[in-house]
Structure 1
Amino acid sequence: MENHEVCEEIVTLLRKQRHDFVNHLQVIHAMLQMDRREKALLYIEE
């Protein structure tokens, strides 16, 4: 595998991680907006 291919793979993996992280934040944000603090805390600990 060449350097540019490795870099492209790393960028793809980072984008997927960012997508998942943002999704988790959106879930937590929604729970907090609905006053479901305990549920949000459990989600974070999970």
Structure 2
Amino acid sequence: MLARANEIEPMAPWRRRFALGLTRQDLETVAATYAAGFIATITFIA
């Protein structure tokens, strides 16, 4: 039974893409860019 579950799991649509067609890599890139910009802004203000 576990072998069959491993075959089906990678085909699940939510495993490939999140809402709006964004992948996990896209979300990680946005988060990293936001954090870097936030840190740079706070550094220059302080």
TM-score normalised by length of structure 1: 0.51
Partner residue of 1:36?
A: none
Q: Could you tell which deviates more after superposition, 6-15 or 16-25?
A: 6-15
Alignment map for 1:1-46 (pairs within 5 Å): 1=10, 5=16, 8-31=23-46
Unaligned runs of 5+ in 2: 1-9
Higher RCO (C-alpha under 8 Å, 6+ residues apart): 1
Unaligned runs of 5+ in 1: 32-46
Identity rate, percent: 0
TM-score normalised by length of structure 2: 0.51
Partner residue of 1:37?
A: none
Runs of 4+ that moved beyond 3 A: none
Count, aligned residues: 29
Structure showing greater Rg: 2
